[in-house]
Each structure stands twice: as C-alpha cells, then as structure tokens.
Amino acid sequence: MGKSRLRDKSESISEPTTSFHWHDEGLLSCLEVHGEVLRILLLPFLSKDLERHATKKQREKFLRLRREATDIVRIRVVTLLEACELLGVSPEVLERMKLFRRDYPISLGRPQIYKLMTHLINEGDVVKRSPRGYYSNLDMSLHDRVAGLVTSLGGYWSRRMGKDNVPETCIGATVVKLLTKAGMVPGKKARGQYFHHLPKRILDNPELSRYHISATIAEEGWPSLSLKIDTKPRIIMGYSRSIDVTDILPREYVQSLEIGKKLSTGLIPNEIRYMIRKQPFPLLTDEINIIEKSGIETSIYLTSLYKSKKGRVTVEWRVTWEGPDSVKRYEDIFGFLAGSKVEKRFKLVRRLYEEYKDRPLSQNDMDFLKKQLAPV
C-alpha cells in the first residue's frame, strides 16, 4: 500500500499478483488457428515451465492439443484463454504471433474496450448466460460516454428507466462477449468483478490506468471541503468501494444483524473488523497502487457495514487524499471526465477553497459554504 495510512489499525489489503482471472463463460465461438504456431505456444507444457501451476489434467489436455495439431485447428476461445492464464501471457500475444487464420474482428488492443470495462465495473453488471451489459447512473453525460464507447466497438445499445428511477443503458451481446474475451469477469458488481484484479492491459497502459481512476472518481467519488469552526477549510478528494463479506463472517453474527441498518466502524466488534481487513480486495489494491505510484499519499479505512434485504452483508472501504498539493497533483495527472457532474462539483469546491483557504471559518462562513456545497 506504499505510504498509505490505514486507519482503524487496518492491515494492508492483499497485494496483486500478475496472473489473470479468466472465467470459462462458454459464450464465444471457436476460432481457426495455425497448428504450427499453436505447437510453439504450447511448448512450455512439455517442460512445465509455466507461470501458474497446471493440474495433471490441464497439462495432458494441452499436450494432446499440441500433438494433434494439424495445419489448421479449430479451438475454443475459452481454451486459448486458459492457456494464456497458465502461461502468464496476455491474449494480445496470440495476435502478435499470428496464431489466428483470420484476423479477429476487433483487436483486443483497442482502448475503448477497457474504458467501457471500467464503467461497467463501477456502475454496471454483465450477465453471463444471455450475454448483456447494464450501466446505471444519474449522470447522463456518463451514459452518453458509455453509449459512444459501445458504438465505437460496433455494438448496439438502448436506454430505459431502471430500478429506483435510475437511467440504465443496456449493451448488446456482441460487445459484452468482447469484454469477457478481454478479461472482464461477468457477474453482479459487488459479488463479481469486485473480487478480481483489473485486467493487465489497464494496469500496464498509463493512459488506461489514468482513465480508470478518472472514471472511478466520476462514478464512485467526490471532491469536498472539510469544515470546522475557527479552523481553515481543508480540500479533500476520495471515493468508496463496497465488497460482499457475507461468506467470511460467522453465520451467527450475520443472522444477528438488523436488515437495512448501517453500522459504523465503532459498532463492529474487533474480531469482525479483523476478518474484514484480512479479506482480499484486489480491485481496490490495484487502484490504490495506481494512485500512489503517481506520488499521491492516500488514507484507506473502513466506514460501515450493511445487511441487505437478501441477507447479504457488505462493507464500505473509503480512500481519500487531502490538501492542495495532493488534489492539484490528482488534477494534473488524472483529471476529470469532461462534462461530468463530478468535474462541475470540483470546479465549485476549488473556487470556494481558494476564496476561504486563508482564514479560520466563522459560523456564518460555515453556513454559507454548507449551503453552496449541498446537493442540488
């Protein structure tokens, strides 16, 4: 976690690994590949020189594929992705090796794939069986951005009013299949994508890393001022992530929780907080690493625990950085999505901060600033 100050005596969230997290979603058709190139790709299975441990059954499968490879081989995409995972290589390597008999319709190197993936990880769901994607947000500028990314990838989208009167953009099967081929894990966001690392393409590409953080702040974050009477205001930025912890908590504790009631950290028993802090949160770890590599020091802490009507328990992690230098560094390196509500709010927060930063706040100042910062 770099220099992060973990409050509530929190321990570091698990560090990321270099391995991929593909799921065999069984949705993509077979591709024709050159047998000679396939044999070269699978050569490490002869010597067990693999990035990840392969079971005996897996080694036998890939060695059989290698032995039986003819001039042209039809092979399932999910089988190729499994080989990539075990070999520790990106699927883009397959294209560079000229493995495919024909070019794949859309290159996996296109940045729009991973930008769209970020938006769906933050505020969407990807359905596995009947491949569809759904993006929900009150900020229509973000819906237009998502729709533009879908269109650029040759897909189709539609719009409807979703749950709790939140607008929803629906994404067709073609683009969803492309996203899963590029490494997105299908599933509900709190119990699906949030248990996985970001795709390696996002982690390794500075432009995509910056876009991911900027979009995450637009969808999960906020700029604000910390206000206290007789004290100068402090400018703060941050965002929250929630994760489902039902399955790691004692059943008796889960049953004892009141449905719909949010517990603050101070009301959570020490042993429960310890279990939660030990729970890996790879997505959040990846994001903190991206932010801190830019020289911004963050604070990470638990804020609350909540039990839903379905009996699932989630906890909220919060990541913040404060002070004019850190906030300016964020603005210079990551910036804000143009036209988003968060960009507009940041301009307001910064203007108010510049106006009041050099004087202790009176009660009248406090009342005025709170009124200006109140949601419309």
pLDDT band for 106, please (50, 70, 90 cuts). low
pLDDT single digits (tens) 40-80? 999 998 887 787 788 889 989 999 999 998 888 888 777 88
Sequence-distant (6+) residues with CB within 8 A of 45 are: 54, 59, 62, 63, 66
Q: Region 357-368: what's the mean pLDDT?
A: 95
**Contacts of range 368-372, beta carbons closer than 8 Å, 24 or more positions apart:** 369/225, 369/227, 369/233, 370/227, 372/348
pLDDT single digits (tens) 262-313? 999 999 999 999 999 998 999 999 999 999 999 999 999 999 999 999 899 9
Q: Is residue 215 part of a domain?
A: no
Q: Is residue 119 part of a domain?
A: yes
Contact 209, 133 (CB under 8 A): no
Q: Is residue 102 part of a domain?
A: no
State residue 16's pLDDT score.
31
Domain that holds residue 118: 111-187
Same-domain status, 267 and 336: yes
Examine the fold and report which residue of 46, 68, 96 is the final residue of a domain before the chain moves on.
96
State yes or no: pLDDT of 24 exceeds 60.
no
Same-domain status, 142 and 177: yes
Same-domain status, 81 and 136: no
Q: Region 209-237: what's the mean pLDDT?
A: 96
Same-domain status, 44 and 173: no
pLDDT band for 232, please (50, 70, 90 cuts). very high
State residue 192's pLDDT score.
52
State residue 63's pLDDT score.
92
Q: Region 337-363: what's the mean pLDDT?
A: 96
Contact 67, 35 (CB under 8 A): no
pLDDT single digits (tens) 168-206? 999 988 888 888 888 888 876 645 556 888 988 999 999
Side chain identity at residue 30, one-letter code? C
Examine the fold and report which residue of 187, 213, 235 is the final residue of a domain before the chain moves on.
187
State residue 296's pLDDT score.
97
Same-domain status, 273 and 165: no
State residue 103's pLDDT score.
58
Nearest to 187 by CA among 123, 121, 127, 129: 127
Same-domain status, 252 and 327: yes
Give whole-number Cα distances, 200 to 88, 197, 308, in Å: 11, 8, 33
Same-domain status, 135 and 258: no
State residue 50's pLDDT score.
81
State residue 185's pLDDT score.
81
